[in-house]
Structure 1
Amino acid sequence: MNRNRTTGLAIVAALSAALLGGCEAPSLGQLFSGEKTQASTEVSGKKPQQEEGTNVVKKKQPSLEETIQMVDGVPTVTNPAELTVVVNKKRALPADYIPSDLVEPNVPFPFDEKVEKRMMRAEAAGALEKLFAMAKEQGIELYAVSGYRSYRTQKSLFDTYVQTQGAEHAAAYSAVPGKSEHQTGLAMDVSGADAQTRLEESFASTPEGQWLAANCAKAGFIIRYVQGKEDITGYAYEPWHLRYVGTDIAEEIMSKGITLEDYFQQAKTAQKQ
């Protein structure tokens, strides 16, 4: 088992043990070994991330209706570990879901702390490294700002948003605990030097933001919350929020200018024809 996967499993095991024991989970800073975990060890040679991501579209995708069940009155996804899982305000993750393959991508961050938001699932982390390498080759400087977020962390953030910005702002820009894509380990907020690594809508007009929108699908990512689709995604436009889905699906979504929800609806319609 390679080093990054071992690190991810150790973190998950420690978090799970603490949560099941009823005590406070240790911080990610305590769990990191101090060595930089590199997802790139997963992608050398045959680039398994790109191949696996491409294969996602080759199997029949279940409809959104087939991957939901009621849990304590909350519509909850039954496929939280799938790369194509759809999480939104109407589709929650299990509260205790922690990805089993969290690793730290070898990309620049605007902070040094060893915290959970540096983490992503292994395949997504490898794809992010590929994306950042592509950007660097073209003179674009990107920074990873916020990736994996546990249920508990999301609850703390959402509560803070409500207290400081009001419930309406919180509902538009933050997710209720359990309904955040960051908990999947497949999302990363990205910014650039021109935006001073801030997560703001103006990022879309910077060279980094424009490059990201034009090229993210080549590495299997989509801009998850697109402009003009707020009624579908449930969230305001976020040009910084990347979601990994695999290259084939990402290229279809980005080329058509649709959402992940639209993709599944169109696939369902096509299967009926």
Structure 2
Amino acid sequence: MNKWIITFVIILFILSGCQQGIEKKNVHEQEQTSKNDIEKTANESQQVTEQMDPNFLLEAQYFNEIKMVNGEAIIQNPDNVLVLVNKEFTLPSDYIPNDLTIPNVPFSFGDLDLPKRYMRKEAAKALEQLFAAASKNGIHLYGVSAYRPYEHQQSLFSQEVSTKGKEEAALAVAKAGHSEHQTGLSIDVTSESVQFQITEKFGETIEGKWLAEHAHEFGYIIRYPKGKEQITKYQYEPWHIRYVGKKAAKVIYENQLTLEEYFEKVKKI
């Protein structure tokens, strides 16, 4: 009897050891699987980043930093050269670019020293290069209106409302704080062929067509293109160009995007 008992105890001990071994093996396998899953996820994430078009990767500094004030999305980094100003995002009422300068290009109003003659330094230099290239190709462009202070935009919008009504005015003129002109990065341009006026007909002229095809080479885009009114919330403006830098301008032009669509596609890095 004792022999059978001893044998039984030995069998139980062996079985217990085997079970513990199996459990340890299972735990090890689970840990290894978990580790492999983490590494797989990391590798997949890295592969996705590597596979993304580098043209649509953008540094964090170029995205709007927003603070909500009384229901308005106020831009906190207005000096950002890619700042997105539209009906959703507004500039601080006291914002004035600190590097405004006069670009050496002809203006439709002659040599008068007016605020609308000024632009931010980087945009002004690029505008000079754009106008010079146009001139070499027999295209003669003239500046009409660049920088506008907050108060001036406020006055323009009020005038537009008084003559056209609020709804129609909102399609043509930005409210104060929502105008790109306050950034010092935008300018309205024209030509003698349209009697130096601001008109959609400019887009049909030799000058307007050249501008649409070549502005991006100097870091500018047609900010409110035809067919994109539902996105920009403004009417077609072939005369209004906006400086965004050569890299972004090239991507926007080649992919036929608005600035709004560009920011929907780019990923922050």
TM bucket, shorter chain: 0.7 to 0.9
RMSD: 1.8
Determine the C-alpha separation between the residues in 1 that align with 2:178 and 2:119: 17
Shift of 1:100: 0.2
Residue by residue over 1:81-111, the C-alpha shift from the partner in whole angstroms, topping out at 9 and shown as x without a partner, is: 0000000001000010000000010000011
Match of 1:129 in 2: 128
Query: Match of 1:188, SS?
Result: strand
Shift of 1:195: 1.3
Query: Match of 1:222, SS?
Result: strand
Change beyond 3 A, Cα 1:104–1:63: closer
Shift of 1:225: 0.5
Determine the C-alpha separation between the residues in 2 that align with 1:228 and 1:69: 31
Determine the C-alpha separation between the residues in 2 that align with 1:260 and 1:216: 15
Match of 1:144 in 2: 143
Residue by residue over 1:161-217, the C-alpha shift from the partner in whole angstroms, topping out at 9 and shown as x without a partner, is: 001122122100000110000000000001111111111111110000000000000
Query: Match of 2:238, SS?
Result: strand
Determine the C-alpha separation between the residues in 1 that align with 2:164 and 2:121: 34
Query: Match of 2:90, SS?
Result: coil
Is the CA contact 1:57–1:248 (under 8 Å) kept in the aligned structure 2? no
Shift of 1:63: 7.9
How many residues matched? 214
Match of 1:104 in 2: 102
Match of 2:79 in 1: 81
Shift of 1:57: 8.7
Residue by residue over 1:23-55, the C-alpha shift from the partner in whole angstroms, topping out at 9 and shown as x without a partner, is: xxxxxxxxxxxxxxxxxxxxxxxxxxxxxxxxx
Whether 1:236 aligns to 2:244 is no
Match of 2:168 in 1: 169
Q: Which amino acid aligns with 2:74?
A: T
Higher relative contact order (CA 8 A, sep 6+): 1
Determine the C-alpha separation between the residues in 2 that align with 1:239 and 1:162: 22
Is the CA contact 2:62–2:81 (under 8 Å) kept in the aligned structure 1? no
Match of 2:266 in 1: 267
Match of 1:71 in 2: 69
Q: Which amino acid aligns with 1:94?
A: P
Change beyond 3 A, Cα 1:181–1:139: same
Q: Which amino acid aligns with 1:78?
A: Q
Structure showing the higher helix proportion among its residues? 2
Q: Which amino acid aligns with 2:181?
A: H
Match of 1:119 in 2: 118
TM-score normalised by structure 1 residue count:
0.75
Which structure's CA Rg is the greater one?
2
Where in structure 1 do 4 or more consecutive aligned residues deviate above 2 Å?
56-59, 61-64
Q: Which amino acid aligns with 1:151?
A: Y
Is the CA contact 2:223–2:240 (under 8 Å) kept in the aligned structure 1? yes
Shift of 1:239: 0.5
Match of 1:5 in 2: none
Q: Give matches, 1:205-220, under 5 Å.
A: 205-220=204-219
Query: Match of 2:194, SS?
Result: coil
Select 2:93's aligned residue among 92, 95, 100: 95
Match of 1:45 in 2: none
Q: Which amino acid aligns with 1:205?
A: E
Q: Which amino acid aligns with 1:91?
A: F
Residue identity over aligned pairs, in percent, reads 49
Is the CA contact 1:63–1:265 (under 8 Å) kept in the aligned structure 2? no
Whether 1:154 aligns to 2:172 is no
Shift of 1:78: 1.7
TM-score normalised by structure 2 residue count:
0.76
Q: Which amino acid aligns with 2:254?
A: S
Is the CA contact 2:61–2:80 (under 8 Å) kept in the aligned structure 1? no
